[in-house]
Amino acid sequence: MRIVSLLPAATDLVAVLGRLPGLVGRTHECDWPPGLVEHVPVVTRAEFDPDALTSREISEATHRGSGLYTLDSALLARLAPDVVLTQDLCEVCAVSYRQVSEAVRTLEVGPLVVSLEPATLDGVLDCLRQVGAVLGVPSRATAEIAALRQRLDALGAPRPGRRVVALEWLDPIWPAGHWVPEQIALAGGEPLLAGAGEHTRPVPWEAVVEARPDVLLLMPCGFAPERTLAEAPALANLPGWADLPAVRAGEVWVLDGPAHFNRPGPRVVDGAEILATILAGKTPRPEDARRLTPAVTFPA
């Protein structure tokens, strides 16, 4: 079975299900597992270099209707996939279902197009079941789901604790919704500004100030921690920043959004475990989370 993944999270699912040998096409953002996907042909590209734009400029381009990604329809046709995995959840995150449908319509033999649209942790795990069935490994999917649920159960029942704000974009301020509030709750925190399954919108910075979070999590969508660290100092110029309980307590954390929070794949369970470590007052591994201190955030 020849598989094209147009969603990084879908590539994660293919890997967990043991179907990477059948992956014949991927997006330019598919990067996991490292060392195992780099050789796979890339069928998408970004229309601009995100590293050359600020968060505000990226956001403004999106809202002007500028296409963020282009699908190489000719290469897709040459790859002749049996299955195309895509999404219809967010046009900012990946090639849209509409784009894929238009490209597939031109092929002589149309592949099966599977759209993944989870909004909750249960939905994310159900994607594993859905893709497992399509790829002919339902038993493998069932076993993987059971293992992931066991890890989530080990975190314990949701128990409101420290008040937590998670941000998936810094300019404008955008709270993390969908499954992230569930990750926070399972880790022992009380999620603020967004509820489980909620598709959020930008909020004024004053909403964060008024929420008075004990813990502030920075997990911009698509940004590696280094990019987030480079942009984080701008938050210090916002009114009320220094008075946030999270800032005063040194509980502002930079997380790897693409790896553990933004993408609806199996690694969201890793994200919940990382948050549990943070909210328990323990020190996570540097590759999992980095604490912002005044010295780091605001160099002299």
| Same-domain status, 69 and 202 | no
Q: Which of 123, 151, 179 is the last residue of a domain?
A: 151
Distance CA(235)–CA(91), nearest Å, equals: 27
| Same-domain status, 87 and 208 | no
H-assigned helices in 95-160: 97-104, 121-134, 138-154
The continuous run of DSSP H or E covering 57 comes out as helix 55-63
pLDDT digits (tens, 9 = 90+) for 78-119: 999 999 998 775 555 556 546 665 666 656 557 899 989 899
Helix, strand, or coil (residue 69): strand
| Same-domain status, 106 and 170 | no
> Domain span at residue 271?
157-297
| Same-domain status, 112 and 231 | no
| Same-domain status, 185 and 124 | no
Distance CA(190)–CA(116), nearest Å, equals: 28
Number of domains in the chain: 2
CATH assignment of the domain containing 27: 3.40.50.1980
Query: Which candidate, 46, 44, 36, places its Cα nearest to that of 14?
Result: 36
Q: Which of 97, 129, 151 is the last residue of a domain?
A: 151
| Same-domain status, 141 and 78 | yes
| Same-domain status, 8 and 132 | yes
Distance CA(280)–CA(188), nearest Å, equals: 8
pLDDT digits (tens, 9 = 90+) for 54-74: 888 887 766 655 457 788 989
| Same-domain status, 94 and 38 | yes
| Same-domain status, 187 and 215 | yes
| Same-domain status, 7 and 147 | yes
pLDDT digits (tens, 9 = 90+) for 213-266: 999 999 999 899 999 999 998 898 899 999 999 999 999 999 999 999 999 999
| Same-domain status, 147 and 165 | no
Q: DSSP for 220-261, please give it.
A: -TT--HHHHHHHGGGGGGSTTGGG-HHHHTT-EEEE-HHHHT
Mean pLDDT, range 193-222, rounded to an integer: 96
- Asked if pLDDT for residue 11 goes beyond 50, the answer is yes
Angle between helices 268-279 and 138-154 (to 10 degrees): 10
Task: Determine the pLDDT at residue 296.
Answer: 52
| Same-domain status, 110 and 220 | no
Q: Which two tokens stand for residue 116?
A: 């993944």
- Asked if pLDDT for residue 15 goes beyond 70, the answer is yes
Task: Determine the pLDDT at residue 40.
Answer: 98
pLDDT digits (tens, 9 = 90+) for 25-54: 999 999 999 999 999 999 988 777 777 788
pLDDT digits (tens, 9 = 90+) for 135-165: 999 999 999 999 999 999 999 866 668 999 9
Q: Which of 119, 151, 183 is the last residue of a domain?
A: 151
